[in-house]
Amino acid sequence: VPRVERRAEAIGREIAADYSYLVVRLGEQLLGRLWNRIYDGVAVRGAERLQALAKDNTLVYVPCHRSHIDYLLLSYVVYRVGLTVPHIAAGANLNLPLVGGILRRGGAFFLRRSIKGDELYGEVFAAYVHEVLRRGFPMEYFVEGGRSRTGRMLPPKAGLISMTVQSYLREHSRPLLFVPVYIGYEKLMEGGSYTQELAGAAKRKESVWGLLGAIRDLRHEHYGEVGVSFARPIALGELLDAEGVRDMDNWLADKNLRRRTLTELSRQIAERINGAVHLNPVAVVATALLATPKHAADAAQLADIVERLLRLAAQARTAPEAVATTVSGVEAITHTARLGYLQRQSHALGDVVMASDDAAVALTYFRNNVLHCFALPGLIACLIVQHGVIGKTKLARLARELYVLLESELYLPPWRAESMASVPVTHDDGETGDRIAGGADAALFPPFERTLATMASDGWVRMEADADVVSASPAGTDAAMHLELLAATIRPALTRHALMLALAGRAPSGEQSREAVESLCQQAAQHLAMTHVFNAPEFSDRSQFRSAFDALLRVGLLQVDSADSVHYGPELKARADEAAFLLPPDTRAAVLRAAQRRPGQIAATA
């Protein structure tokens, strides 16, 4: 027992923060100078709400994770708005000589990357988390577990969230609020390494020398503006009540209850992070320019598209707490060029703005930061472009069937939200009654209604109110060009889902493993990117196909048995045909060819 106690004490010292107000104060002064040197400014949103809530609630900050700068930036912002700097869960890889001690005094406590098999370490870490929360100290951890290399939210990890819930159930004297935090950049210090890692390079190991080199590089770079938004908090007590969690006993006794509650809490955190997105100039310009065939556009037309995208996001409210840039389209392009992403070429018929292949790859990261804002508009645009003329009811049904596949990947609000209300209808016999909205009534989903109405009022599409019909403008018009560009924003994601649907059904049900399907999808995507789709490394990133597979599991199109074999029913082929139909003819043909090849053929051609 003494030996176990000594080891537990050593683990505790390895984990624990050593909070120092002096270090926090000095850090604020030094970081303030650094931010003023490298950034145009730090735009903060939602802090006033926290200042009122912090008095009576324990706050747990759960930000997205884009950069190592996140740790320092969030602590700096929290301190500057008059709140207590949180205890921050940091990876043990940052516990470097000298640096680790400074971080500890700034509030960092350290967690090993893997604690599997070390039960004592897990117990000590959970006890430390509980003690911090029991005393009412604010805490911060990155729910994604690591930094996103693609710019999308990574699937939340349940470990620390579960420890927080158990700590609350075990003992609490104050309500606990999860505070989702969106952090958005216009340029990343790690941008080059992310691209290399997605292309297959090994992840760089942290070191003191690497950190010093990064700081040296910071002094000579300009990184634009940073956006930090504190989203609407999630009251843990209310969520537990809604999920039927009464106390620690029924939490520990019911595995399904734990899984369901943690899944819902994780989803709400990720959705609210995305809902507080900063639509900065770089992200919106990237969204517009990367949708063009050659990543080049007439400067005046590009400026117009940027402004139209901003209006669409604001009026459709696809991200309810989004913060949008107020600069004009021309100013957004100029700003993006100043950060080194764009080139401008003069021409007698109008200047052309373009991005080199390397710059275009870098811009995919920032497009992905905001892609969820344009997923539903892009999906609607794809359907209208391909059909030409389509009834609104059919449009809503098809949009819903494909939207649910994107929910998990982009953490979109569930389509069922607000669409399950009872609505009055008149039956064939003339009697008036109620029915539950859903299925054929999918058009009652408010974001769909707002998005379609905004697209019609701003000239993206045409609507015949009496006939309940939606149509594209004639080919060759500016409106048709705008609609095609909007559709192109979401086509890479739809192409991945079309690949997953086609390849999951390429062999008889039960004859493929999940790992084999995901591997085939990645290989097919790599080949497709070389021949038909913009060859950005993130397109064939394995994590994207894991998300796509999870989406198919969630909606019941796929099932996996205890042997990891994949099963499906006849509906899978219909969904595969619908997804493939939205792709350009050459891409559609390439997807179908991949599905018809024998397993070895894809690997041989990739």
Burial of 191 (0-12, 13-18, 19+ CB in 10 A): middle
| pLDDT value, residue 166 | 96
| Most confident residue range from 383-387, 441-445, 582-586 | 383-387
Average pLDDT estimate for 107-131: 90
Q: How confident is the model at residue 569 (pLDDT cuts 50, 70, 90)?
A: very high
Q: Is 235 exposed, middle or buried (0-12, 13-18, 19+ CB in 10 A)?
A: middle
Q: Is pLDDT of 484 > 50?
A: yes
Give dist(CA 589, CA 117) in Å, integer: 48
Q: Which of 167-176, 244-253, 443-452 shows the lowest mean pLDDT across its residues?
A: 443-452
- Per-residue pLDDT, averaged over 400-409, amounts to 89
pLDDT on residue 106 = 93
* Statement: residue 427 has pLDDT above 50: no
Give the mean model confidence (pLDDT) for residues 119-126.
Answer: 92
What pLDDT does 429 receive?
Answer: 35
Angle formed by the axes of helices 478-504 and 375-387, nearest 10° = 100
Instruction: Decide: helix, strand or coil at residue 186.
Output: coil
Burial class of residue 432 in the structure, from the number of CB atoms within 10 Å of its CB (0-12 exposed, 13-18 middle, 19+ buried): exposed
Mean pLDDT of 34-43: 90
Q: What average pLDDT score do residues 156-173 get? A: 94
Mean of pLDDT values over 277-296: 96
**Distance of CA 515 to CAs 144, 282, 308, 502, 576, Å?**
22, 36, 41, 15, 20
* Angstrom distance (rounded) from CA 487 to CA 510: 35
Residue where the block lists tokens 């619908």 = 578
Q: What is the rounded distance in angstroms from the CA atom of residue 223 to the CA atom of residue 244?
A: 46
Q: Which tokens is 148 given?
A: 């996103």
Contacts of 541 (CB under 8 A, 6+ apart): 149, 150, 198
Separation in Å, CA 411 to CA 122, 201, 471: 29, 28, 29
User: Of the ranges 327-341, 430-444, 546-560, which is most confident?
Assistant: 327-341
Mean pLDDT over 246-266 rounds to 95
pLDDT at site 419: 38
> pLDDT tens digits, residue range 507-531?
999 999 999 999 999 999 988 888 8
Mean pLDDT is lowest, of 205-214, 391-400, 594-603, for 205-214
Q: Among 88-102, 130-144, 163-177, 318-332, whose mean pLDDT is lowest?
A: 88-102
The per-residue pLDDT of the chain, averaged, comes to 88
